[in-house]
């Protein structure tokens, strides 16, 4: 429910932030349902992502000043609020000249896309990747980051009534090929691989049958990275894929990456700088968003849970 709570007192190392916008992501809903690996102690404020403007800083805060824009540097910050007081180390500064929706959706999906493209296979311009759930927030970021690096993308989506519109939208973002899950089994796939090499990297956000079909097209010794499980079904991998093609199956969770690199400020800074530069150059845009005033949060939550929704619900705060 929407509730007025008293603002915490500003400590020496704290930052008073006016929140501007915060998205509703699947992980946020999983946390509310109690099924996510990280759960906030109750009562809790929802939201893991968003952007805010600094209003005031404690006397020991050196890296931030009023007027700066900040995004969460940690999980479960509770971003669905109008204002908050947060410890300085839980926040990351971002340029205030990037679009507000780009900043609000920066800390989860684009970071996931950046890491899964960079950390598992060494890709060069001309190489290709294949991904399912290509119209998801991560999927849209993968298309754009890959395009900026000269990497080709084969993008798998579920068949739907407005498929031509979706294909057009993903192609406009820089997708090289957009296909349905059914097409993965068809001979037309051979046509695709006449013009681009088979992928060394497959990105899986679905699980179940979609994953098995996608795996068929992976190069020998290629890697499949699973970062989501939207079908809520296990991965089915033929034994032959392991024995005769020596494929690797890996997993990725941005929260774990942040924990593992908590003392590696350089990796985090490099990633955020690269993503912000792509945004400033117009090479990385926010996913398709529906902006919803905070008081209409119930409708936003309902819409975020509907199938075939390609638009991310963003709470305006």
pLDDT tens for residues 132-171? 999 999 999 999 999 999 999 999 999 988 899 999 999 9
**Where are any strands of DSSP class E within the chain?**
14-23, 51-57, 69-72, 83-87, 91-94, 128-131, 152-157, 177-180, 201-204, 207-208, 223-226, 233-235, 248-251, 289-293, 312-316
The CATH number assigned to the domain with range 14-105+286-316 reads 3.90.180.10
Q: Residue 49 has which token pair?
A: 């992502």
What are the residue boundaries of the structural domains of the chain, listed by start? 14-105+286-316, 109-255
Asked whether the predicted pLDDT for residue 307 surpasses 80, the reply is: no
> Is 297 one of the catalytic residues?
no
Among residues 22, 25, 36, 301, which one is catalytic? 36
Which pLDDT tens digit goes with each residue over 38-60? 899 999 999 999 999 999 999 99
The CATH number assigned to the domain with range 109-255 reads 3.40.50.720
């Amino acid at each position: 429910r929407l509730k007025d709570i008293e603002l915490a007192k500003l400590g020496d190392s704290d930052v008073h932030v006016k929140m501007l916008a915060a998205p509703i992501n699947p992980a946020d809903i999983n946390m509310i349902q109690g099924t996510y690996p990280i759960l906030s102690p109750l009562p809790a404020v929802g939201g893991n992502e968003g952007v805010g403007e600094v209003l005031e800083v404690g006397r020991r805060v050196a890296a931030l000043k009023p007027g700066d824009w900040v995004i969460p540097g940690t999980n479960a910050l509770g971003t669905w609020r109008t204002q908050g007081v947060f410890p300085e180390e839980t926040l990351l500064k971002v340029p205030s000249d990037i679009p507000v929706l780009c900043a609000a959706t920066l800390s989860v999906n684009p970071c996931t896309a950046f890491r899964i493209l960079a950390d598992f296979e060494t890709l060069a311009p001309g190489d290709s990747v294949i991904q399912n759930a290509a119209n998801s927030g991560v999927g849209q970021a993968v298309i754009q980051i890959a395009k900026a690096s000269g990497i080709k993308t084969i993008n798998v989506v579920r068949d739907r009534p407005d498929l031509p519109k979706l294909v057009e939208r993903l192609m406009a973002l820089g997708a090289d090929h957009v296909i349905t899950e059914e097409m993965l089994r068809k001979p037309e796939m051979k046509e695709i691989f006449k013009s681009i090499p088979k992928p060394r990297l497959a990105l899986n956000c679905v699980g179940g049958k979609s994953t098995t079909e996608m795996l068929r097209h992976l190069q020998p010794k290629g890697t499949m990275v699973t970062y989501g499980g939207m079908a809520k079904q296990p991965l089915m991998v033929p034994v032959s894929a392991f024995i005769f093609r020596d494929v690797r199956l890996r997993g990725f969770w941005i929260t774990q990456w942040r924990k593992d690199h908590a003392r590696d400020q350089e990796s985090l800074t490099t990633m955020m700088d690269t993503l912000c530069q792509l945004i400033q150059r117009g090479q990385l845009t926010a996913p398709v968003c529906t902006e919803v005033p905070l008081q209409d949060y119930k409708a936003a939550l309902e819409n975020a849970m509907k199938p075939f929704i390609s638009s991310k619900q963003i709470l305006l705060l």
